[in-house]
Amino acid sequence: MTHYIDIKMVPPVEVNVPVVLNKVFSRFHKTLIQEECPELAISFPAEKKQKGSPLGDILRIHGNEKELKFFMKTNWLGGMKDYVKFGMVKSVPSNAEHVVVRRVQVKSSAERIRRRQIKRHGLTEEEAREKIPDSLEKRIKEPYIDVKSGSTGNSFRLFIRQEKVSEPRLGGFNKYGLSKGGTVPFF
């Protein structure tokens, strides 16, 4: 990933940063699916630096120069252009560190376990709720984006973790711009 562009959220007073970030991110994801865009990745350089917005107010998009310029010409922001600022595609600084930006999923949703118990063991909903209380559910403390899946249309919370690593790694990125093993520059 040799280049990047920063998309800074600048919401009006009555709207908070996470609301704008959710919408911008959903548009990013949808465009990656619709446009058959090449591999692009994301990071959040202002994570935990802005009060009230755990992921911060900047969505950084990584890729090579040609891919990023093509992506920005797709008008992917649409009506969200009034709520963001962005400049030109820039080269990554040579002193950049590296991070893996990945999705974090909880495998123990109490509701999911209850549905499985009902299906496999013939329990009633009440029996399953008694056997598997909500208190058994693991909670994730990672920051998240509320996103609507471009493929299924379902809304869900996409929990994200950025982990610094000592060396860059090759690896793919999914249609959310999240790592399947690869790193992105972080500065």
Q: Are 33 and 39 in contact (CB under 8 A)?
A: no
Q: Are 184 and 101 in contact (CB under 8 A)?
A: yes
Least Cα distance to 176 among 32, 6, 2, 46 occurs for: 32
Q: Are 83 and 48 in contact (CB under 8 A)?
A: no
Q: Is the dihedral of CA 25, 27, 28, 34 positive or negative?
A: positive
For tokens 């500065």, name the residue: 187
Name residues whose C-beta falls within 8 Å of residue 125's C-beta, 6 or more positions apart in sequence. Answer: 114, 118
Least Cα distance to 169 among 100, 69, 105, 113 occurs for: 100
* Active-site option among 3, 29, 62, 98: 29
Active site residue 62: no
The amino acid that residue 104 corresponds to is: V
The string over 160-180, giving b where at least 16 C-beta atoms fall within 10 Å of a residue's C-beta and e elsewhere, is bbbeeeeeeeeeebebbbbbe
Q: Known catalytic residues?
A: 29
